[in-house]
């Protein structure tokens, strides 16, 4: 352990892996922000914190069972001449779950508040945690397999996981509040989850999509939406005095006698 603390290579590996885990954690933060919005407002911060702690626990547990994780990449059977592993099955099921959940959330958003209130009940805290746990398992498997491919020391992997989850805990609250405040951002986040679900399924089926492409598309779309929000905010500031002046001119004069 002391050798790791005094090794420059170990610190470089820790910094590299922590940065990678933080980038990969974008998926987790988006899903947490969307799924927690189904809860009453006072329960959302607690759900995000517990969800991230659950993600950290799962990843550390998987790292401590590294032999079993390596076995997840061994072929179970062959489908259309392609080997299928346990990791592939988890990614496919997780992708399907994300697609289904995101589609239902998009449907609820587009149907409007009157339908949403009558036909879609507010999610219970336990149900939200179960959904967070399921998708955490999928993201954790992908994250841990990536970590194993980059670093050999389990101690460095665990330290990187703890650091990345700590950063995500700090980011989860402002991200969640921002998503809750702007309906268009929430719809964009749901679109990201659909994209991530398709990428997970493709990965499970042996079609590797470089994550850089996915994150670039997400960053570009987010940048465009931020410009749209800025334009709408500026337009409201310009139109507000005009509307106020029109309202005052149309108001009937009051009788002062």
Mean local confidence (pLDDT), 243-248: 63
- Residue 254: inside a domain, yes or no? no
Query: Do 137 and 175 sit in the same domain of this protein?
Result: yes
Identify the pLDDT of residue 59: 83
- Residue 218: inside a domain, yes or no? yes
Domain that holds residue 222: 210-249
Query: Do 87 and 200 sit in the same domain of this protein?
Result: yes
- Residue 43: inside a domain, yes or no? yes
Query: Do 68 and 112 sit in the same domain of this protein?
Result: yes
Query: Do 34 and 159 sit in the same domain of this protein?
Result: yes
CB 160: neighbour CB atoms within 10 A? 26
Is pLDDT at 4 greater than 80 in this prediction? no
Q: What is the pLDDT of residues 100-142, one digit of tens each?
A: 888 887 887 776 544 444 434 456 788 888 888 888 877 777 7
Identify the pLDDT of residue 245: 64
Q: At what angle do helices 183-204 and 154-181 cross, to 10 degrees?
A: 140
pTM exceeds 0.75 for this model? no
Query: Do 53 and 152 sit in the same domain of this protein?
Result: yes
Query: Do 194 and 215 sit in the same domain of this protein?
Result: no
CA-derived radius of gyration, the chain: 23
Q: What is the pLDDT of residues 76-90, one digit of tens each?
A: 777 777 788 887 888
Query: Do 173 and 216 sit in the same domain of this protein?
Result: no
Q: Is 122 helix (H, G, I), strand (E, B) or coil?
A: coil
- Mean pLDDT of all residues belonging to the chain: 77
């Amino acid at each position: 352990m002391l050798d790791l603390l005094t090794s420059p290579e170990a610190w470089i590996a820790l910094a590299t892996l922590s940065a990678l885990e933080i980038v990969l954690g974008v998926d987790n933060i988006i899903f947490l922000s969307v799924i927690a919005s189904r809860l009453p407002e006072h329960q959302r911060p607690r759900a995000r914190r517990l969800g991230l702690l659950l993600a950290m626990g799962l990843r550390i547990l998987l790292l401590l069972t590294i032999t079993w994780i390596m076995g997840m990449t061994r072929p179970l059977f062959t489908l259309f001449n392609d080997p299928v592993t346990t990791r592939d099955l988890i990614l496919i099921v997780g992708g399907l779950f994300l697609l289904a959940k995101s589609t239902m959330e998009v449907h609820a958003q587009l149907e409007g508040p009157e339908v949403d209130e009558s036909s879609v009940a507010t999610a219970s805290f336990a149900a939200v945690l179960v959904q967070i746990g399921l998708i955490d398992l999928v993201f954790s498997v992908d994250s841990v397999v990536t970590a194993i491919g980059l670093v050999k020391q389990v101690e460095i992997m665990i330290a990187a996981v703890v650091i990345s989850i700590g950063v995500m805990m700090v980011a989860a609250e402002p991200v969640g509040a921002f998503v809750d405040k702007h309906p268009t951002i929430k719809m964009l986040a749901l679109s990201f989850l659909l994209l991530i679900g398709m990428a997970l399924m493709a990965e499970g089926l042996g079609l590797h999509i470089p994550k850089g492409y996915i994150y670039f598309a997400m960053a570009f779309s987010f940048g465009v939406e931020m410009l749209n929000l800025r334009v709408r905010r500026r337009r409201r500031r310009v139109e507000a005095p005009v509307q106020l002046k029109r309202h005052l001119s149309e108001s009937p004069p009051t009788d002062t006698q």
